[in-house]
Amino acid sequence: MNAHVSQGDRSMFAVFAGESYYADAGWRNYRGSAESPDAACRMAAEMTERESYGWWQVVDLEARKIIAWHGRVYGYGPGPEGAAVDG
Contact in structure between 58 and 21 (CB atoms under 8 Å): no
Structural domain spans, the chain: 13-71
The model's pLDDT over 33-86, given as tens digits with 9 standing for 90+, comes to 999 999 999 999 999 889 888 889 999 999 999 999 888 655 554 444 444 443
- Give pLDDT, residue 58: 95
Q: What is the pLDDT of residue 76?
A: 53
Q: How far apart are CA 68 and CA 87, in angstroms?
A: 18
Going by pLDDT thresholds of 50, 70 and 90, the confidence category of residue 19 is: confident
The answer to whether 43 touches 34, Cβ cutoff 8 Å, is yes
Is residue 18 within 8 Å of residue 29, measured between CB atoms?
yes
User: Would you say residue 31 has pLDDT above 80?
Assistant: yes
Sign of the torsion formed by the C-alpha atoms of 3, 9, 68 and 74:
negative
